[in-house]
Amino acid sequence: MKKSLQSFFDYLKFEKRYSSHTLTAYRSDLEGFMDFVQREFGEVQLSEISHSIVRTWLAVLRDEGLDTKSIRRKLSSLKSFFKHMLRMGVLETSPMAQVITPKAGKKLPVFMKEEDTAQVSETLTSSSDDWKSLNMQMLINIFYATGMRLSELVNLKEKQIDFSRGHIRVLGKGNKERIIPVSQDVLQQIRRYKDLKRKEFGSGSCEYFLVTEKGRKLYPKYAYLLVKKALSEVTTLEKKSPHVLRHTFATHILNNGANLNAVKELLGHSSLAATQVYTHNTIEKLKDVHKKAHPRS
């Protein structure tokens, strides 16, 4: 088996021209597997390695606490090796044909801490009153207050904002309409922006709520860049996008006691499964509270 492994490593190095870092990863994965086979099953020929041996190895990796991402990488290395052995005529069948690769776990939503959200809002409030800064303020405040998607906010029309009832009618995916309640504080900010818009561009200005400094509808790319710039204040954030504010909205209201079904409706999710991803962050907060508060934790 050593000759077969070396043949594969030479192929990766000289034909595929993989980097030394990648080669080291392949070597670690494959030699680790071969060591396991020899330790558990003795001297086994390459052709005698079956899918059941590979599955046993997988079970051991899981028992050792290896994460799904690392297991997927090791399986990928193994598949590449056996595929090369088939191509070289060393094997007639691959044991990997009956091995199912575990699905990659979904990445948890990136969100801001409450104190970071307050800091960004405070910084924007104290910024200048040029149109770019005003748009930045409105984007951050409305995204965080409503959990809207980028497409929903840039397409929001003035007539969808109901000041008397204190809510916004949002047209979401599949033209599904939903109602999002808005605080008086945010409504005041919206009213101020609307008044400045009338003063700047006249009473017959654009029907869309958010506009550029030329009075035209705010386009998605520009809105995205404004949000990204505003969130650059938070150096700990992995991502800086409008969707981070949507995730932040959902996480914060759940952490403060909101019902999961209510959050589903506010976000415009078609199923509860899409909303449940936010509960992980809530559970982590509960664990943290328990650890700090419980005398035996």
The CATH number linked to 47 is 1.10.150.130
Residues 270 and 142 in one domain: yes
Order the strands of the 161-162 sheet from edge to edge.
161-162, 167-171, 177-181
The pLDDT-based confidence of 284 (bands split at 50, 70, 90) is low
Candidates 197, 240, 246, 264; catalytic one: 246
Residues 14 and 81 in one domain: yes
How would you label 110-134 residue by residue, b for 16+ Cβ within 10 Å and e otherwise? ebbeeebbeebeeebeeeeeebeeb
Extract the tokens encoding 152. 């929903």
Dihedrals phi, psi of 259, to nearest 5 degrees: -75, 140
The CATH number linked to 248 is 1.10.443.10
Residue 215: inside a domain: yes
Residue 285: inside a domain: yes
Candidates 51, 83, 167, 243; catalytic one: 243
Residues 158 and 271 in one domain: yes
The arithmetic mean of pLDDT across residues 72-83, rounded, is: 96
Candidates 62, 173, 176, 221; catalytic one: 173
Q: 27-41, 121-135, 267-281: which has the highest mean pLDDT?
A: 27-41
Residue 104: inside a domain: no
- The structural domain count of the chain equals 2
pTM for the model stands at 0.64
User: How big is the CA angle at 261 (ends 189 and 108), to the nearest 5 degrees?
Assistant: 80
Candidates 74, 84, 149, 240; catalytic one: 149
Which contacts qualify for 38-47: CB closer than 8 Å, 24 or more apart? 45/1, 46/1, 46/4, 46/85, 46/90, 46/91, 47/91, 47/92
What is the pLDDT at residue 59?
A: 87
Residue that terminates a domain, selected from 98, 132, 158: 98
Question: Looking at the predicted structure, is the pLDDT value of residue 130 above 80?
Answer: yes
Largest CA distance in the chain: 85
Residue 141: closest CA among 199, 187, 200, 209: 187
Identify the residue whose tokens are 């996008």. 241
Query: Which residue has better confidence, 291 or 75?
Result: 75
Catalytic site residue 167? no
Catalytic site residue 149? yes
Q: Are 238 and 147 in contact (CB under 8 A)?
A: no
Catalytic site residue 278? yes
What is the pLDDT at residue 127?
A: 75
pLDDT digits (tens, 9 = 90+) for 44-53: 899 999 998 9
141 CB contacts (<8 Å, ≥6 apart)? 121, 124, 186, 189
Residue 190: closest CA among 246, 122, 141: 141
Residues 264 and 181 in one domain: yes
Question: Which of 75-89, 106-120, 149-163 bottoms out in mean pLDDT, i.e. has the lowest?
Answer: 106-120
What is the pLDDT at residue 275?
A: 85
Question: Looking at the predicted structure, is the pLDDT value of residue 234 above 70?
Answer: yes
Question: Looking at the predicted structure, is the pLDDT value of residue 286 above 90?
Answer: no
Question: Which of 102-111, 183-192, 211-220, 267-276 bottoms out in mean pLDDT, i.e. has the lowest?
Answer: 102-111
What is the pLDDT at residue 184?
A: 95
Extract the tokens encoding 139. 């984007």
What is the pLDDT at residue 272?
A: 85
pLDDT digits (tens, 9 = 90+) for 93-125: 999 998 888 887 667 788 898 899 999 988 888
Extract the tokens encoding 43. 């001297």
Q: How many residues does the chain have?
A: 297
Residues 144 and 70 in one domain: no
Residue 107: inside a domain: no
- State the Cα–Cα distance between residues 215 and 8, nearest whole angstrom: 62
Question: Looking at the predicted structure, is the pLDDT value of residue 295 above 80?
Answer: no
Residue 78: inside a domain: yes
Residues 86 and 125 in one domain: no
Torsion 276-280-285-291 (CA) sign: positive
Extract the tokens encoding 171. 């047209």
What is the pLDDT at residue 107?
A: 72
Candidates 26, 144, 193, 278; catalytic one: 278
Q: Are 5 and 34 in contact (CB under 8 A)?
A: yes
What is the pLDDT at residue 297?
A: 44
Residues 81 and 159 in one domain: no
Residues 131 and 170 in one domain: yes
Identify the residue whose tokens are 């056996």. 82
Residue 108: inside a domain: no
Mean pLDDT of the chain: 89
Catalytic site residue 246? yes
Question: Looking at the predicted structure, is the pLDDT value of residue 256 above 90?
Answer: no
The pLDDT-based confidence of 282 (bands split at 50, 70, 90) is low
Runs of H (alpha helix) within the chain: 2-10, 20-41, 51-63, 68-87, 114-125, 131-146, 150-154, 184-201, 220-231, 242-255, 260-267, 272-275, 279-293
Q: For residue 22, give its domain range.
A: 2-98
Question: Looking at the predicted structure, is the pLDDT value of residue 290 above 90?
Answer: no
